[in-house]
Structure formats: structure tokens, C-alpha cells
Structure 1
């Protein structure tokens, strides 16, 4: 039988090795369920704008730009001359002039009334923000006290379970009763964790609400500056309402020239923007913030205090990395697409594949420049961007046991 070959026995894997492999796999699975998380994100389109807003310098009447006295990036102070206009329209003397002056006075009175309404509106908004913050503080304090009392109840439950465990071990009660007490203890501990999560949410909400009064003050200041600029334009118009002549445009406040829309020799109509000033507080640096836009399908899970990761269209993130920011405000009313800049509106339509209204989200940036490792590149006003915001994040075990937790809450 030698021509059939020799007989060999296959070696089996030792049982202890199989047990060790099984233990490693089970441990890895348990660690994954305990510590891994599931995150749901959304990408939002946006644009960079000055944190202090912008002031548009407009032509008071139809005129020809004679000279520009400033350049882009130049720092100006309130009262500085910006440009010289030549008024082309002449006004006849007599009743027609009186009517024009009266119309200008009426317009000035309307603008002053508007300033009073803006002050009252933002005063109410600031009071509401302060009251909201106080309400959150009270609710947080009550929740913390409720949590302290419930923690005492959990401690009693643990002691009761330990006592029943000893009695079951001594044979006084059946194991079924111990399992019942164990279930009650697990339910108490789950409710304690829910309280902790609710308190964490209140802490985040308190942090976000703490920004609201300052944000309302900043918005009020921006509105007042725009109205003051309109008053300054109106005053300049009334000075030259009688005859043709040269008119100097003056800066209504301190700031930095950001953009020039016209050149010497160009003709401008009444109300046309000639240049843009970014208000500044004694510094040459312009602080930029990001403004994102979200649809009604995603804005519900976005709140103040959330971290966002920003990618700038002008700087590929593979080389320049990401920017970081914190959400400081979420608009309560939507904005129509036609009210947004054309380039941004086109990008939003392509992103959401529609023309539905969007909500504006204010993001405070942590850095005002990006680096490629050797050089810093400052951010610029008007740059487009895309930001990732976290909508929901849960542990794997919360996702697995969610039906059980929901059913338990319904029973309770």
C-alpha cells in the first residue's frame, strides 16, 4: 500500500488560542459599542463679512465724480473728505427751491423718527435677551437641585439592591426578585443620565444666550450708523440744493475704505453707492465673521455655541487646512434668495437644488488668516466658504438601546 502515500493527521488549533481570539473580538466589540459615536453633519454655504458691518457712501444727487480723495485700504476719520462731486442738476430760485428744501426737511424728520424707532426696538430686544438668560439660569438651578435629590434616590436604590442581593444569597428571597430590583436600579440610573444630559443642554443654552445681549447691541449700533450716514448724505444734499457746484463727500464715522465702485469721470445717480467703509475702533485690522445659510430642513438642529469647521473656496483645504468657528446667532426668520448677493444665491441654489428661503447663521471665527506652513494668508471680505456643522451625535449604545429607552419612557 506504500504506493498510495503516507497518512498524516491535521493539527487542530489549540482551544486556548481560539478562546483568546474570541475574547479579543468580544472586548473590541464592547469597546466599540461603549465609546464609538455616530455623527450626522451638514454642509452650509456662506460668505465672509465684516463683524462691525459696512457703511455705504452714496451720492446725494445725480452728479459726476470729479476726484477721489481716498484709496482702498486707507484709514479715514469722521469728517474726512472722501470725494468731490460736481452736481449737474440746477435748481430754479423761488417756490420750487422752497418746495425742495421742505421735502428735504421732511425726509430728515422721517429719518430721525426711524432712528428713534430703531433705538426702541433694540432696547426691547436687549431686555428680552437679558430676561431669556435669567430664565435659563433659573431653570438650570432648578434642574441641578432636582438632579441632586434624584441622585440621593439612586443611592438609596443601590443600597436597597445590595441588601436584596445579600438576602437572595442567604436564601430569603428568590433570584427573580433580585432581577426586578436590578431593573428598577438600572431605570433610575438611566433617568439620572438623562438629567445630566438635560443639564448639559441647559449649560450650552446659557452660554449661547450670554452672547445675545452683545449681539443685539452690535446690531443696534450698525443700524444707527447706517441711519446717521443717511442723515449726513441728506445734509450734504441740502447744502447744494440751490445751484450747480462742487460737493465734498465726508466720512460719517471712523473706518477703513473697503471698496470703490466708481472712477473719476463716472456719472452717478442719486442714492448710488460710491464706496464702502468698514467701521473700525482705532485699529487697522478688520475683523471678519462668517455668515452661513441653512434651509428649514437643517436649521432646527443648529444652535448657538456649536463648533463649525470652515473650508474657504480661495484656499484648498488639502493645503491650507480648515478654519474653525463658533455659532453666535441663528436667525428666527428666513431670507429670500433674491435678497442675497447673486453669486451666493447661485451657489445656494446649486447646493440645496431649489429656491426655498434660507436662515442666516452668524459664526465668530477663531482665526483671521490661514497658513500653508511657511506664510500667512489673511482672509478677505466677500470670500465664499463652506462649513460643516454637527446636527446630531450619539454613542453607539444609545442608538442600539434607543427603542428600549423610548418604550420605558412611554410606560412611565
Structure 2
């Protein structure tokens, strides 16, 4: 039995080389805490923060009711200008007077000469019409006078004929009486013959009166028919001349419309882009001015390729930049998508906009800007129709971890499908 216990001997045997102590300096521990903090913050950042994918597009500012461009209907020079830039105009208000007179060498203005010739022809037609009307009035007065005289003559002859008839009837009765008296020898034959001769004479006068009455009535009917025919001829002649006058007046109106044209406002609004000045010549291809319709809103019309419109929806956020005021200095301005076209624009519609991706179909995105002005050194500068602009349209907004794990999320369904096919085999 030894001097020391077995436990002491074992303890001394284990520690004969000394006790092992692991060094742990304070800086290493601090670094570990910092690393854990960074990892934690990074996880929070990846989870809570998001990244927005944007599509850069370009477009133009236009009123929602469009811009009314006023053109000259034909070539000519501006004679008068009644408006100026920024004026408010009403429907039908005169804007310009255009003249299309062309002068030939050694002659007056062609259109003016044509109009003067038409006026001369119109004057001749009017004079002829007045002569025809005057002649008709004279002939009508004479015819009415003759008819009136014949009517009075017929009435007088009817009265005379009636009187003669009564006289003849009385004489006929008297002849019958004398004949009876002569048969009884109350009167002589000579007396009876005188009465009979008087009766025959009055009967002859009655026939003459009746014949004259018939002739007068026939003449009255003839004069009445002549008057009706005269009136019919007058109406026909007058209508022919009136038709020529109307045709000539229309010809004169057309000639004058070619000579001087009054251009009027087709809608109420504000005058802008006034390019016409007095004396300036226009060929009808360039607009004289434009009108921004009354009560119209200024909208941004953006044009995006087909691959960029998949995630763009109404109410999507848009950040607008106006090249007239550099955005690096004057900032970007917020807007909201109002609508996205369902079909690509036609070639004619594309010609109105400079397509930077030639040949690619474009879709129109209508955006309502929050503000119709830009703050420039403390002043509000109004946006103008037709201004070009650039914009960032928000296509998709995801958290960072969704972007990081998107490839895995896309691969997972395909791997499950492949695994399912393998199990089926």
C-alpha cells in the first residue's frame, strides 16, 4: 500500500505536462459578434427590402382630346390673321382670310377676273328677269282689261237679249190676238199685217242679240284661255331665268370661295403653334395653327415594345423625365398609368412617333402626370403639348430574397415533373 491514494497518483499522472488553456483574446470575440450582426442585418435587408424592375420608354405629351390642326383647303396666301398665340377661341370664330388670286403677266388676278365675268352674266340674267316680269305685268293688265270689258259686254247683251225675248213674246201674243180679231173682222187686214211684221222684226232682233251674245261669250272664253296661256308661258320663262340665276349665283359663290376663304375654328380651345402671318403663302400641306380643345387634360403617351408591357397595368407608378429640364437638376415627376393598349400600333400611328426600335411593334401606355408643371428655380413652368419625354415604368416589385431564389423557384416545378416521370417509369 503506497504512501498516497490511488486518486492522487492518477491525478498527478494526467497533469505532469501541465494544464491546457485555450487562448481567447477579446478582439476575436468582438469580431465574431460583428460578423453575426452583419449576417443578421443582411438577412433582414434581404427579407424586408425590395427591388423594382423598371422599363425605360419614351413618349410625348398630348391633350386627352387631341390637337386640332387647321389646314388651308387650297393653296393661297394669308390675307388677314384674326388671332394670336395663346388666344381663346370659340366654335366658328374666324381665324384667317385666305386669298387664292393668281395673277398672269399683263393681266389682273385670274380669279377676280372670273368672278367679274360671272357677275356680268348674273346682271344680264337679272335684267332679263325684270324685263320679263315687266312685260308680263303689261300683258296681264291688258288681258284683264279686255276680259273685264268682255264680261261687262256679255252682261249687257244678256240683259238686252232678255228684254228682246220679252218683247218678242208680247208681240207674238199680240199677233195671235190680231189674227183672232181679223178672223172676226174686228180689225182690218192691214192692221193685222203691221202687227205681224213688227213681230217678225223683233224676232229677228232677238236672234241677232242671241248671236252677238254667243260671240261675246266665245271671245270671253278665248281671252281667258289666252290669259292662262300667257301666265303659263311667263311662269316657264321666269323659272328658266331664275334657274340660270341660281346656277350663276352658285358659280359666283364657288368662285369667291376660291378667291377668299374664311377659316373658322372647328372647336373651342386655345390657339397654339401659330405659323401663319399676313402675306405668307401656304400650299395646304402645312398647318396654319393648332387648337388645344377646351377643358382637355394633358396626358403622357408612352410607347413600349411588346416585351415590356407584360407586367404593366393600370395604376402602375411611372417616373417622368422631361428633356427640356434635365432631370439630374430638376428631378423626376410621378405619374400613374391610366391604360395600356391591347393591340400594337399600326404603321401610320407609329409614324407619328419616333420609334427607336425600328421594326418592333409598339404598345401605347397612357399616363396621367400628378403635376402639369416643373419646378424651375422656384417657378412653376407649365408643361406644353407635344413635348418629348422619357419615363421609367414600374414593371415588377419583389423582395430581394424573391429575386435571389427566383432561379430555384423556377427549377423546382421542372425537377418535380422530371421526378414524377421517373417514378412513373
Task: Give the TM-score range, shorter chain.
Answer: 0.5 to 0.7
Deviation at 1:35, TM superposition (A): 1.0
Give SS of 2:307's match: coil
Deviation at 1:386, TM superposition (A): 0.7
How high is the TM-score relative to the length of structure 1? Answer: 0.54
Retained in 2: the 8 A contact 1:65–1:85? Answer: yes
Deviation at 1:240, TM superposition (A): 4.1
- What residue is the counterpart of 2:333 in the other structure? 323
Say whether 1:31 aligns with 2:41.
Answer: no
Cα separation, partners in 2 of 1:239 and 1:257, compared to 1, 3 Å: farther
Structure 2: which 5+ runs fail to align? 1-22, 103-110, 119-249, 421-425
- RMSD of aligned alpha carbons: 3.3
How far apart, in 2, do the equivalents of 1:22 and 1:338 lie? Answer: 61
How far apart, in 1, do the equivalents of 2:73 and 2:251 lie? Answer: 9
Give SS of 1:73's match: coil
- What residue is the counterpart of 2:309 in the other structure? 299
Matches within 5 A, 1:10-409: 12-13=25-26, 16-88=29-101, 90=111, 240-243=253-256, 244-270=258-284, 272-281=286-295, 287-335=297-345, 339-340=349-350, 344-345=353-354, 348-349=355-356, 352=357, 354-402=358-406, 405-406=409-410, 407=412
How far apart, in 2, do the equivalents of 1:38 and 1:361 lie? Answer: 23
Give SS of 1:300's match: coil
Give SS of 1:260's match: coil
- What residue is the counterpart of 2:179 in the other structure? none
Deviation at 1:76, TM superposition (A): 0.6
Deviation at 1:47, TM superposition (A): 1.3
Deviations 1:260-279 (A, max 9, x none): 23222223345653211111
Cα separation, partners in 2 of 1:367 and 1:240, compared to 1, 3 Å: farther
Deviation at 1:24, TM superposition (A): 0.5
Cα separation, partners in 2 of 1:28 and 1:65, compared to 1, 3 Å: same
Deviations 1:316-368 (A, max 9, x none): 112211111111122223235675567x51xx42xx4x442322211111111
- What residue is the counterpart of 2:8 in the other structure? none
Deviations 1:206-259 (A, max 9, x none): xxxxxxxxxxxxxxxxxxxxxxxxxxxxxxx99942445422211122100011
Retained in 2: the 8 A contact 1:337–1:358? Answer: no
Retained in 2: the 8 A contact 1:319–1:372? Answer: no
Cα separation, partners in 2 of 1:275 and 1:340, compared to 1, 3 Å: farther
Give SS of 1:31's match: helix
Retained in 2: the 8 A contact 1:61–1:270? Answer: yes
Cα separation, partners in 2 of 1:372 and 1:249, compared to 1, 3 Å: closer
Cα separation, partners in 2 of 1:404 and 1:247, compared to 1, 3 Å: closer
Deviations 1:107-130 (A, max 9, x none): xxxxxxxxxxxxxxxxxxxxxxxx
Cα separation, partners in 2 of 1:373 and 1:61, compared to 1, 3 Å: closer
Give SS of 1:301's match: coil
Deviation at 1:26, TM superposition (A): 2.3
Deviations 1:165-205 (A, max 9, x none): xxxxxxxxxxxxxxxxxxxxxxxxxxxxxxxxxxxxxxxxx
How far apart, in 2, do the equivalents of 1:238 and 1:27 lie? Answer: 92
How far apart, in 1, do the equivalents of 2:324 and 2:285 lie? Answer: 33
Greater CA radius of gyration, 1 or 2?
A: 2
